[in-house]
Structure 1
Protein backbone atom coordinates (compact mmCIF):
# COMPACT_ATOMS: atom_id res chain seq x y z
CA UNK A 1 0.00 0.00 0.00
CA UNK A 2 1.33 3.44 -0.97
CA UNK A 3 1.65 6.19 1.62
CA UNK A 4 0.15 8.50 -1.03
CA UNK A 5 -2.00 7.38 -3.95
CA UNK A 6 -3.38 9.91 -6.45
CA UNK A 7 -5.72 8.83 -9.24
CA UNK A 8 -7.23 11.01 -11.94
CA UNK A 9 -6.51 14.25 -10.06
CA UNK A 10 -7.86 17.34 -11.81
CA UNK A 11 -8.00 20.94 -10.58
CA UNK A 12 -9.80 23.88 -12.21
CA UNK A 13 -9.04 27.45 -11.15
CA UNK A 14 -10.73 30.50 -12.62
CA UNK A 15 -12.30 28.42 -15.33
CA UNK A 16 -8.94 27.01 -16.48
CA UNK A 17 -7.97 23.37 -15.95
CA UNK A 18 -4.60 23.49 -14.15
CA UNK A 19 -4.27 19.75 -13.52
CA UNK A 20 -5.80 17.05 -15.70
CA UNK A 21 -5.93 13.35 -14.89
CA UNK A 22 -2.77 13.12 -12.78
CA UNK A 23 -1.86 9.67 -11.42
CA UNK A 24 0.96 9.42 -8.89
CA UNK A 25 2.08 7.25 -5.96
CA UNK A 26 4.65 7.68 -3.21
CA UNK A 27 5.62 4.72 -1.02
CA UNK A 28 6.61 4.98 2.62
CA UNK A 29 10.31 5.85 2.75
CA UNK A 30 10.33 7.00 -0.87
CA UNK A 31 11.31 10.44 -2.21
CA UNK A 32 9.46 11.54 -5.35
CA UNK A 33 10.27 14.91 -6.91
CA UNK A 34 7.99 16.65 -9.39
CA UNK A 35 9.70 18.81 -12.01
CA UNK A 36 8.50 20.76 -15.01
CA UNK A 37 8.54 24.20 -16.61
CA UNK A 38 6.79 27.19 -15.04
CA UNK A 39 3.01 26.74 -15.15
CA UNK A 40 3.21 22.94 -15.33
CA UNK A 41 1.00 22.56 -12.24
CA UNK A 42 3.62 21.39 -9.74
CA UNK A 43 2.63 23.67 -6.83
CA UNK A 44 -1.06 23.15 -7.59
CA UNK A 45 -0.52 19.41 -7.21
CA UNK A 46 1.01 19.84 -3.75
CA UNK A 47 -1.69 22.28 -2.65
CA UNK A 48 -4.40 19.82 -3.67
CA UNK A 49 -2.72 16.97 -1.78
CA UNK A 50 -2.32 19.26 1.23
CA UNK A 51 -6.05 19.98 1.28
CA UNK A 52 -5.84 23.61 0.18
CA UNK A 53 -7.57 23.26 -3.19
CA UNK A 54 -10.82 21.68 -4.35
CA UNK A 55 -10.20 18.84 -6.77
CA UNK A 56 -11.71 15.98 -8.73
CA UNK A 57 -10.30 12.49 -8.58
CA UNK A 58 -8.96 10.48 -5.67
CA UNK A 59 -6.28 11.25 -3.06
CA UNK A 60 -5.60 8.57 -0.44
CA UNK A 61 -3.10 8.61 2.41
CA UNK A 62 -2.13 5.24 3.86
CA UNK A 63 -5.21 3.74 2.25
CA UNK A 64 -7.70 6.30 3.59
CA UNK A 65 -9.37 8.75 1.25
CA UNK A 66 -8.68 12.31 2.39
CA UNK A 67 -12.40 13.12 2.42
CA UNK A 68 -12.75 10.66 5.31
CA UNK A 69 -10.11 12.43 7.43
CA UNK A 70 -10.96 15.14 9.92
CA UNK A 71 -8.89 18.31 9.81
CA UNK A 72 -6.89 17.17 12.84
CA UNK A 73 -6.35 13.69 11.39
CA UNK A 74 -5.21 15.16 8.10
CA UNK A 75 -2.73 17.44 9.91
CA UNK A 76 -1.28 14.37 11.60
CA UNK A 77 -0.98 12.61 8.24
CA UNK A 78 0.41 15.39 6.02
CA UNK A 79 2.96 18.12 6.75
CA UNK A 80 3.73 20.74 4.11
CA UNK A 81 6.25 23.49 3.45
CA UNK A 82 4.77 26.01 1.02
CA UNK A 83 6.83 28.39 -1.10
CA UNK A 84 5.47 31.42 0.78
CA UNK A 85 3.98 30.32 4.13
CA UNK A 86 1.69 32.71 5.99
CA UNK A 87 3.40 33.83 9.20
CA UNK A 88 1.28 35.25 12.05
CA UNK A 89 2.63 38.63 13.22
CA UNK A 90 4.78 38.79 16.35
CA UNK A 91 5.81 35.12 16.18
CA UNK A 92 9.08 33.91 17.64
CA UNK A 93 10.83 30.96 16.06
CA UNK A 94 10.01 28.53 18.86
CA UNK A 95 6.34 29.58 18.96
CA UNK A 96 6.05 29.12 15.19
CA UNK A 97 7.67 25.69 15.25
CA UNK A 98 5.38 24.70 18.14
CA UNK A 99 2.44 25.27 15.78
CA UNK A 100 3.51 21.99 14.19
CA UNK A 101 2.38 20.24 17.37
CA UNK A 102 -1.16 21.68 17.16
CA UNK A 103 -2.70 18.41 15.87
CA UNK A 104 -1.58 16.69 19.07
CA UNK A 105 -2.75 19.33 21.58
CA UNK A 106 -6.37 19.49 22.74
CA UNK A 107 -8.17 22.77 21.93
CA UNK A 108 -7.98 23.99 25.55
CA UNK A 109 -4.74 22.22 26.42
CA UNK A 110 -1.09 23.18 26.47
CA UNK A 111 1.93 21.59 24.89
CA UNK A 112 3.27 18.55 26.72
CA UNK A 113 6.85 17.75 27.67
CA UNK A 114 7.00 15.52 24.59
CA UNK A 115 5.81 18.36 22.34
CA UNK A 116 8.60 20.57 23.67
CA UNK A 117 11.12 17.77 23.28
CA UNK A 118 10.14 17.21 19.65
CA UNK A 119 10.50 20.92 18.90
CA UNK A 120 13.85 21.15 20.69
CA UNK A 121 15.12 18.20 18.67
CA UNK A 122 14.00 19.69 15.37
CA UNK A 123 15.57 23.07 16.20
CA UNK A 124 18.83 21.34 16.99
CA UNK A 125 18.80 19.27 13.77
CA UNK A 126 18.22 22.42 11.69
CA UNK A 127 20.80 24.53 13.54
CA UNK A 128 18.13 26.90 14.85
CA UNK A 129 18.61 26.71 18.62
CA UNK A 130 20.29 30.13 18.73
CA UNK A 131 17.30 31.65 16.91
CA UNK A 132 14.58 30.19 19.17
CA UNK A 133 13.65 33.54 20.75
CA UNK A 134 14.00 35.65 17.60
CA UNK A 135 11.01 37.13 15.77
CA UNK A 136 10.61 35.62 12.30
CA UNK A 137 10.75 38.99 10.43
CA UNK A 138 14.27 39.55 11.83
CA UNK A 139 15.61 36.41 10.11
CA UNK A 140 17.15 36.13 6.68
CA UNK A 141 15.27 34.35 3.91
CA UNK A 142 17.38 31.23 4.33
CA UNK A 143 16.91 31.19 8.09
CA UNK A 144 13.14 31.54 7.71
CA UNK A 145 13.13 28.67 5.19
CA UNK A 146 14.71 26.41 7.79
CA UNK A 147 12.10 27.53 10.35
CA UNK A 148 9.30 26.65 7.92
CA UNK A 149 10.80 23.19 7.48
CA UNK A 150 11.17 22.84 11.25
CA UNK A 151 7.47 23.43 11.79
CA UNK A 152 6.60 20.77 9.22
CA UNK A 153 8.99 18.23 10.75
CA UNK A 154 7.58 18.93 14.20
CA UNK A 155 4.23 17.54 12.96
CA UNK A 156 5.79 14.08 12.70
CA UNK A 157 3.47 13.26 9.80
CA UNK A 158 4.22 10.22 7.60
CA UNK A 159 3.85 12.32 4.41
CA UNK A 160 5.98 15.42 3.84
CA UNK A 161 5.19 17.87 1.03
CA UNK A 162 8.01 20.24 0.04
CA UNK A 163 7.33 23.01 -2.48
CA UNK A 164 10.73 24.35 -3.58
CA UNK A 165 12.22 23.75 -0.12
CA UNK A 166 15.66 25.20 -0.90
CA UNK A 167 14.74 28.19 -3.06
CA UNK A 168 15.93 30.76 -0.47
CA UNK A 169 19.00 28.86 0.72
CA UNK A 170 22.67 29.16 -0.16
CA UNK A 171 24.32 26.02 -1.49
CA UNK A 172 25.66 24.95 1.92
CA UNK A 173 22.29 25.16 3.63
CA UNK A 174 20.63 23.57 0.58
CA UNK A 175 22.76 20.51 1.11
CA UNK A 176 22.22 20.56 4.88
CA UNK A 177 18.43 20.72 4.54
CA UNK A 178 18.19 18.08 1.82
CA UNK A 179 20.57 15.74 3.66
CA UNK A 180 18.46 16.19 6.79
CA UNK A 181 15.22 15.37 4.92
CA UNK A 182 16.96 12.39 3.34
CA UNK A 183 18.11 11.10 6.75
CA UNK A 184 14.70 11.63 8.33
CA UNK A 185 12.77 9.91 5.59
CA UNK A 186 15.01 6.87 5.99
CA UNK A 187 14.93 6.93 9.82
CA UNK A 188 11.17 7.57 10.05
CA UNK A 189 10.12 5.86 6.81
CA UNK A 190 8.70 9.19 5.61
CA UNK A 191 7.11 9.56 2.20
CA UNK A 192 8.43 12.75 0.57
CA UNK A 193 6.77 14.52 -2.35
CA UNK A 194 8.70 17.60 -3.46
CA UNK A 195 8.89 20.12 -6.26
CA UNK A 196 12.26 21.51 -7.31
CA UNK A 197 13.60 23.75 -10.06
CA UNK A 198 17.25 22.72 -9.73
CA UNK A 199 17.25 19.57 -11.84
CA UNK A 200 20.71 18.36 -10.86
CA UNK A 201 19.96 18.64 -7.14
CA UNK A 202 16.55 17.04 -7.67
CA UNK A 203 18.14 14.09 -9.46
CA UNK A 204 20.64 13.51 -6.67
CA UNK A 205 18.03 13.05 -3.94
CA UNK A 206 14.91 11.64 -5.60
CA UNK A 207 14.22 7.92 -5.92
CA UNK A 208 11.76 8.73 -8.69
CA UNK A 209 10.93 11.84 -10.67
CA UNK A 210 7.72 12.99 -12.31
CA UNK A 211 7.95 15.42 -15.22
CA UNK A 212 4.84 17.55 -15.70
CA UNK A 213 3.86 19.89 -18.51
CA UNK A 214 0.55 21.56 -19.16
CA UNK A 215 -1.01 20.04 -16.05
CA UNK A 216 -0.29 16.46 -17.10
CA UNK A 217 2.37 13.85 -16.34
CA UNK A 218 4.54 13.42 -19.42
CA UNK A 219 7.26 11.19 -17.94
CA UNK A 220 7.93 9.31 -14.71
CA UNK A 221 10.61 6.98 -13.44
CA UNK A 222 14.12 6.94 -11.97
CA UNK A 223 16.06 10.21 -12.46
CA UNK A 224 18.19 8.70 -15.24
CA UNK A 225 15.04 7.96 -17.26
CA UNK A 226 13.45 11.38 -16.77
CA UNK A 227 16.46 13.71 -16.88
CA UNK A 228 17.33 13.06 -20.51
CA UNK A 229 18.47 15.63 -23.04
CA UNK A 230 15.56 14.75 -25.33
CA UNK A 231 12.86 15.18 -22.69
CA UNK A 232 14.32 18.35 -21.19
CA UNK A 233 14.88 19.95 -24.58
CA UNK A 234 11.29 19.21 -25.58
CA UNK A 235 9.50 20.16 -22.35
CA UNK A 236 11.67 23.07 -21.17
CA UNK A 237 12.65 24.33 -24.64
CA UNK A 238 16.18 24.49 -23.29
CA UNK A 239 19.63 23.51 -24.57
CA UNK A 240 21.20 21.17 -22.01
CA UNK A 241 23.86 18.53 -21.63
CA UNK A 242 23.19 15.66 -19.21
CA UNK A 243 26.22 14.14 -17.50
CA UNK A 244 26.29 11.13 -15.20
CA UNK A 245 27.25 12.07 -11.65
CA UNK A 246 27.98 9.90 -8.63
CA UNK A 247 24.43 10.22 -7.24
CA UNK A 248 22.38 11.03 -10.32
CA UNK A 249 22.28 12.91 -13.63
CA UNK A 250 23.83 16.39 -13.74
CA UNK A 251 22.02 18.83 -16.02
CA UNK A 252 24.23 21.56 -17.51
CA UNK A 253 22.79 24.45 -19.57
CA UNK A 254 24.56 24.84 -22.89
CA UNK A 255 24.96 28.23 -24.51
CA UNK A 256 24.03 28.38 -28.19
Structure 2
Protein backbone atom coordinates (compact mmCIF):
# COMPACT_ATOMS: atom_id res chain seq x y z
CA UNK A 1 0.00 0.00 0.00
CA UNK A 2 1.70 3.24 -1.07
CA UNK A 3 1.60 6.40 1.06
CA UNK A 4 -1.57 8.41 0.57
CA UNK A 5 -1.39 11.64 -1.37
CA UNK A 6 -3.68 14.41 -2.53
CA UNK A 7 -6.92 14.84 -0.63
CA UNK A 8 -6.94 11.44 1.10
CA UNK A 9 -6.59 10.80 4.84
CA UNK A 10 -3.37 11.97 6.50
CA UNK A 11 -0.60 9.39 6.81
CA UNK A 12 -0.33 7.47 10.06
CA UNK A 13 3.29 8.56 10.39
CA UNK A 14 5.01 11.47 8.68
CA UNK A 15 8.66 12.16 9.44
CA UNK A 16 10.29 15.22 7.91
CA UNK A 17 14.00 16.10 8.17
CA UNK A 18 14.40 14.26 11.48
CA UNK A 19 17.66 15.01 13.28
CA UNK A 20 18.57 13.11 16.45
CA UNK A 21 21.83 13.29 18.40
CA UNK A 22 22.56 11.16 21.46
CA UNK A 23 25.31 12.32 23.78
CA UNK A 24 26.26 14.93 21.22
CA UNK A 25 26.76 12.29 18.51
CA UNK A 26 24.47 12.52 15.45
CA UNK A 27 22.45 9.30 15.06
CA UNK A 28 19.78 10.33 12.55
CA UNK A 29 20.42 13.07 9.99
CA UNK A 30 17.61 14.30 7.81
CA UNK A 31 15.43 11.19 7.86
CA UNK A 32 12.22 11.36 5.78
CA UNK A 33 9.55 8.69 6.14
CA UNK A 34 5.84 8.33 5.43
CA UNK A 35 3.66 5.40 6.55
CA UNK A 36 0.11 5.26 5.23
CA UNK A 37 -2.75 4.25 7.53
CA UNK A 38 -3.04 0.45 7.41
CA UNK A 39 0.42 -0.02 5.92
CA UNK A 40 3.22 -2.25 7.26
CA UNK A 41 6.64 -0.63 6.89
CA UNK A 42 9.78 -2.30 8.24
CA UNK A 43 13.04 -0.45 8.81
CA UNK A 44 16.17 -2.48 8.13
CA UNK A 45 19.85 -1.62 8.23
CA UNK A 46 23.17 -2.64 9.77
CA UNK A 47 23.90 -2.33 13.49
CA UNK A 48 24.22 1.31 14.52
CA UNK A 49 22.19 2.60 11.56
CA UNK A 50 19.67 4.30 13.88
CA UNK A 51 16.69 1.93 13.54
CA UNK A 52 15.71 1.81 17.23
CA UNK A 53 16.37 5.55 17.60
CA UNK A 54 13.90 6.23 14.77
CA UNK A 55 11.21 4.13 16.47
CA UNK A 56 11.82 5.84 19.82
CA UNK A 57 11.45 9.25 18.18
CA UNK A 58 8.18 8.24 16.47
CA UNK A 59 6.93 6.83 19.79
CA UNK A 60 7.61 10.12 21.57
CA UNK A 61 10.49 8.85 23.70
CA UNK A 62 12.99 11.23 22.10
CA UNK A 63 12.39 14.91 21.37
CA UNK A 64 11.81 15.69 17.70
CA UNK A 65 10.09 19.09 17.61
CA UNK A 66 8.36 19.79 14.31
CA UNK A 67 9.66 16.63 12.64
CA UNK A 68 6.94 14.03 13.32
CA UNK A 69 3.18 13.95 12.80
CA UNK A 70 0.85 11.09 13.76
CA UNK A 71 -2.43 10.84 11.85
CA UNK A 72 -2.10 14.51 10.93
CA UNK A 73 -1.35 15.79 14.45
CA UNK A 74 2.11 17.09 15.40
CA UNK A 75 3.59 14.56 17.79
CA UNK A 76 4.47 17.13 20.45
CA UNK A 77 0.81 18.27 20.57
CA UNK A 78 -0.33 14.86 21.86
CA UNK A 79 -0.67 14.49 25.61
CA UNK A 80 0.64 11.30 27.16
CA UNK A 81 -2.74 9.55 27.49
CA UNK A 82 -3.77 10.67 24.00
CA UNK A 83 -0.55 9.30 22.56
CA UNK A 84 -1.02 5.98 24.38
CA UNK A 85 -4.40 5.53 22.70
CA UNK A 86 -2.82 6.10 19.30
CA UNK A 87 0.63 4.47 19.59
CA UNK A 88 1.65 1.18 21.24
CA UNK A 89 5.34 0.26 21.37
CA UNK A 90 7.08 -3.07 21.89
CA UNK A 91 10.70 -2.13 22.70
CA UNK A 92 13.59 -4.59 22.52
CA UNK A 93 14.08 -4.71 26.30
CA UNK A 94 11.00 -3.52 28.22
CA UNK A 95 11.35 -2.69 31.90
CA UNK A 96 9.36 -5.21 33.94
CA UNK A 97 8.43 -4.49 37.58
CA UNK A 98 9.82 -7.28 39.78
CA UNK A 99 7.34 -9.93 40.86
CA UNK A 100 4.69 -8.90 38.32
CA UNK A 101 2.40 -11.59 36.92
CA UNK A 102 1.61 -11.87 33.22
CA UNK A 103 -2.05 -10.86 33.62
CA UNK A 104 -1.16 -7.73 35.60
CA UNK A 105 1.53 -6.75 33.09
CA UNK A 106 -0.78 -7.09 30.10
CA UNK A 107 -3.46 -5.12 32.01
CA UNK A 108 -1.02 -2.18 32.03
CA UNK A 109 -1.90 -1.84 28.36
CA UNK A 110 -5.37 -0.70 29.40
CA UNK A 111 -4.01 2.19 31.50
CA UNK A 112 -4.96 4.91 28.94
CA UNK A 113 -8.62 3.93 29.36
CA UNK A 114 -8.74 3.69 33.16
CA UNK A 115 -9.51 6.96 35.00
CA UNK A 116 -6.96 8.18 37.55
CA UNK A 117 -7.49 6.28 40.82
CA UNK A 118 -9.99 4.07 38.96
CA UNK A 119 -9.95 0.32 38.38
CA UNK A 120 -10.13 -1.82 35.28
CA UNK A 121 -13.61 -2.69 34.00
CA UNK A 122 -15.04 -5.95 32.74
CA UNK A 123 -14.39 -4.65 29.22
CA UNK A 124 -10.70 -4.13 30.05
CA UNK A 125 -10.41 -7.66 31.44
CA UNK A 126 -12.20 -9.06 28.38
CA UNK A 127 -9.80 -7.23 26.03
CA UNK A 128 -6.82 -8.67 27.91
CA UNK A 129 -8.27 -12.18 27.95
CA UNK A 130 -8.85 -12.01 24.20
CA UNK A 131 -5.25 -11.00 23.54
CA UNK A 132 -3.88 -13.67 25.89
CA UNK A 133 -5.91 -16.25 24.01
CA UNK A 134 -4.73 -15.06 20.59
CA UNK A 135 -1.09 -15.27 21.71
CA UNK A 136 -1.52 -18.65 23.43
CA UNK A 137 -0.74 -17.11 26.84
CA UNK A 138 -3.82 -17.89 28.94
CA UNK A 139 -1.94 -20.68 30.70
CA UNK A 140 0.70 -18.16 31.79
CA UNK A 141 -1.69 -15.55 33.24
CA UNK A 142 -0.67 -16.15 36.89
CA UNK A 143 3.01 -16.78 36.20
CA UNK A 144 5.63 -14.18 37.08
CA UNK A 145 7.30 -12.72 34.02
CA UNK A 146 10.72 -13.48 35.49
CA UNK A 147 9.97 -17.22 35.28
CA UNK A 148 9.25 -17.20 31.54
CA UNK A 149 11.62 -17.92 28.68
CA UNK A 150 12.78 -15.12 26.42
CA UNK A 151 10.31 -16.11 23.72
CA UNK A 152 7.41 -16.32 26.17
CA UNK A 153 8.24 -12.88 27.55
CA UNK A 154 8.37 -11.48 24.02
CA UNK A 155 4.81 -12.66 23.42
CA UNK A 156 3.71 -11.06 26.71
CA UNK A 157 5.28 -7.75 25.67
CA UNK A 158 3.35 -7.91 22.40
CA UNK A 159 0.17 -8.81 24.30
CA UNK A 160 0.43 -5.66 26.41
CA UNK A 161 0.82 -3.53 23.27
CA UNK A 162 -2.14 -5.20 21.55
CA UNK A 163 -4.30 -4.83 24.68
CA UNK A 164 -3.66 -1.09 24.44
CA UNK A 165 -5.94 -0.94 21.40
CA UNK A 166 -3.80 1.65 19.62
CA UNK A 167 -4.02 2.12 15.86
CA UNK A 168 -0.25 2.43 15.35
CA UNK A 169 1.99 -0.43 16.46
CA UNK A 170 5.75 0.15 16.80
CA UNK A 171 7.71 -3.11 16.95
CA UNK A 172 11.44 -2.98 17.69
CA UNK A 173 12.91 -6.37 16.73
CA UNK A 174 9.70 -8.21 17.71
CA UNK A 175 10.99 -11.68 16.79
CA UNK A 176 14.58 -11.51 18.07
CA UNK A 177 13.95 -13.83 21.04
CA UNK A 178 11.53 -16.21 19.29
CA UNK A 179 12.07 -19.58 17.64
CA UNK A 180 10.99 -19.81 14.03
CA UNK A 181 7.56 -21.25 14.87
CA UNK A 182 6.67 -18.46 17.28
CA UNK A 183 8.15 -15.89 14.89
CA UNK A 184 5.60 -16.93 12.31
CA UNK A 185 2.76 -17.08 14.86
CA UNK A 186 3.45 -13.58 16.17
CA UNK A 187 3.88 -11.97 12.76
CA UNK A 188 0.84 -13.72 11.29
CA UNK A 189 -1.19 -12.49 14.27
CA UNK A 190 0.03 -8.92 13.80
CA UNK A 191 -0.80 -9.12 10.09
CA UNK A 192 -4.24 -10.57 10.82
CA UNK A 193 -5.01 -7.79 13.32
CA UNK A 194 -3.75 -5.23 10.82
CA UNK A 195 -6.19 -6.49 8.19
CA UNK A 196 -9.13 -6.95 10.57
CA UNK A 197 -8.76 -3.75 12.60
CA UNK A 198 -6.85 -1.39 10.28
CA UNK A 199 -3.67 -1.37 12.37
CA UNK A 200 -0.64 0.45 11.02
CA UNK A 201 2.71 -1.26 11.70
CA UNK A 202 6.16 0.32 11.80
CA UNK A 203 8.80 -2.24 12.73
CA UNK A 204 12.53 -2.82 12.80
CA UNK A 205 13.99 -6.23 11.98
CA UNK A 206 17.37 -7.85 11.56
CA UNK A 207 16.06 -10.93 9.72
CA UNK A 208 15.84 -9.64 6.16
CA UNK A 209 13.87 -12.58 4.76
CA UNK A 210 11.16 -12.20 7.41
CA UNK A 211 11.15 -8.44 6.88
CA UNK A 212 10.56 -8.96 3.17
CA UNK A 213 7.82 -11.54 3.71
CA UNK A 214 5.54 -9.33 5.82
CA UNK A 215 6.21 -5.68 5.00
CA UNK A 216 4.48 -3.69 2.28
CA UNK A 217 7.57 -1.49 2.05
CA UNK A 218 11.09 -1.54 3.45
CA UNK A 219 13.20 1.43 4.51
CA UNK A 220 16.95 0.81 4.47
CA UNK A 221 18.75 2.99 7.01
CA UNK A 222 22.49 3.35 6.79
CA UNK A 223 24.66 5.70 8.85
CA UNK A 224 21.58 7.59 10.06
CA UNK A 225 20.14 8.27 6.60
CA UNK A 226 17.56 6.64 4.35
CA UNK A 227 19.59 4.76 1.73
CA UNK A 228 16.67 3.08 -0.04
CA UNK A 229 12.90 2.80 0.27
CA UNK A 230 10.37 0.76 -1.67
CA UNK A 231 8.75 -2.67 -1.95
CA UNK A 232 10.89 -5.55 -0.63
CA UNK A 233 11.93 -6.69 -4.13
CA UNK A 234 13.37 -3.23 -4.83
CA UNK A 235 15.27 -2.90 -1.54
CA UNK A 236 16.48 -6.45 -0.87
CA UNK A 237 18.95 -6.64 -3.73
CA UNK A 238 22.38 -8.22 -3.64
CA UNK A 239 23.94 -4.90 -4.65
CA UNK A 240 22.29 -2.79 -1.92
CA UNK A 241 22.94 -5.38 0.81
CA UNK A 242 26.58 -5.71 -0.23
CA UNK A 243 27.02 -1.94 -0.16
CA UNK A 244 25.37 -1.22 3.19
CA UNK A 245 25.82 -4.45 5.17
CA UNK A 246 29.18 -5.38 3.63
CA UNK A 247 27.68 -8.85 3.27
CA UNK A 248 27.91 -11.50 0.59
CA UNK A 249 24.38 -12.79 0.02
CA UNK A 250 22.20 -14.42 -2.57
CA UNK A 251 18.67 -13.14 -3.01
CA UNK A 252 16.09 -15.71 -4.08
CA UNK A 253 12.60 -14.59 -5.09
CA UNK A 254 10.07 -16.37 -2.86
CA UNK A 255 6.30 -16.58 -2.98
CA UNK A 256 5.73 -13.67 -0.56
CA UNK A 257 8.98 -11.76 -0.94
CA UNK A 258 12.73 -12.02 -1.49
CA UNK A 259 14.65 -14.57 0.61
CA UNK A 260 18.14 -13.46 1.64
CA UNK A 261 20.68 -16.27 1.97
CA UNK A 262 24.16 -15.54 3.37
CA UNK A 263 26.92 -16.95 1.18
CA UNK A 264 30.28 -17.81 2.66
CA UNK A 265 33.12 -15.88 1.09
CA UNK A 266 35.73 -17.87 -0.79
CA UNK A 267 39.23 -17.95 0.63
CA UNK A 268 42.36 -18.38 -1.43
CA deviations over 1:182-228 (Å, ceiling 9, x no partner): 00011111110000000001000000000000000000000000000
For 1:5 and 1:142, the matched residues in 2 are separated by 32
> In the alignment, which residue of structure 2 is the partner of 1:213?
222
Cross-structure match for 1:196: 205
Secondary structure at 2:226's aligned position in 1?
Answer: strand
1:254 aligns with one of 241, 263, 267: 263
Aligned residue in 2 for 1:163: 172
Given that 2:251 and 2:258 are in contact with CA atoms closer than 8 Å, whether structure 1 keeps it comes out as yes
User: Do the aligned partners of 2:66 and 2:74 also contact (CA within 8 Å) in 1?
Assistant: no
1:24-63 deviations in Å (ceiling 9; x for gaps): 1111111000000000000000011111112354211111
Identify unmatched segments of 5+ residues in structure 1. none
Q: Does 1:107 align with 2:141?
A: no
- 3-state SS in 2 of match to 1:130: helix
Aligned Cα RMSD in Å? 0.7
Specify every segment of 5 or more residues in structure 2 that has no aligned partner in the other structure, as ranges: 1-9
Count of residues paired in the alignment: 256
Counterpart pick for 2:129 among 117, 120, 140: 120
Provide, for residues 152-190 of structure 1, a one-character-per-residue CA deviation record: whole Å limited to 9, x for no partner.
000110100000000000000000000000000111111
Measured in 2, the distance between the counterparts of 1:196 and 1:40 equals 12
Q: Using the alignment, how far apart are the partners of 1:212 and 1:168 within structure 2?
A: 22
Conserved 8 A contact 1:8-1:57: no
- Which one of 41, 44, 51 corresponds to residue 32 of structure 1? 41
Q: Which residue of 1 aligns with 2:183?
A: 174
Equivalent position SS for 1:83: coil
When structure 1 is superposed on structure 2, of 219-228 and 52-61 the one drifting more is 52-61
* Structure 1 segments of 4+ aligned residues over 6 angstroms from their partners: none
Instruction: Provide the residue aligned with 2:100 in structure 1.
Output: 91
Aligned to 1:135: 144
Contact residue 11 and residue 56 of structure 1 kept, 8 A = no
Partner secondary structure for residue 6 of structure 1: strand
Distance in structure 1 (CA, Å) of the matches to 2:153 and 2:128 = 16
Partners in 2 of 1:107 and 1:72 — Cα distance? Answer: 11
Q: Is structure 2 residue 52 aligned with structure 1 residue 43?
A: yes
**C-alpha distance in 2, partners of 1:111/1:28?**
29
Give the Cα–Cα distance (whole angstroms) in 1 for the partners of residues 35 and 103 of structure 2.
31
Are the counterparts in 2 of residues 11 and 19 from structure 1 also a CA contact under 8 Å? yes
Q: How does 1:7-86 map to 2 (within 5 A)?
A: 7-86=16-95
Q: Secondary structure at the match of 2:67?
A: strand
Provide the secondary structure at the position in 2 that maps to 1:242.
Answer: strand
CA contact (8 A) 1:12 1:55 kept: no
Which secondary structure does the structure 2 equivalent of 1:8 belong to?
Answer: strand
2:160 matched to 1:151?
Answer: yes
Deviates more, 1:22-31 or 1:142-151: 22-31
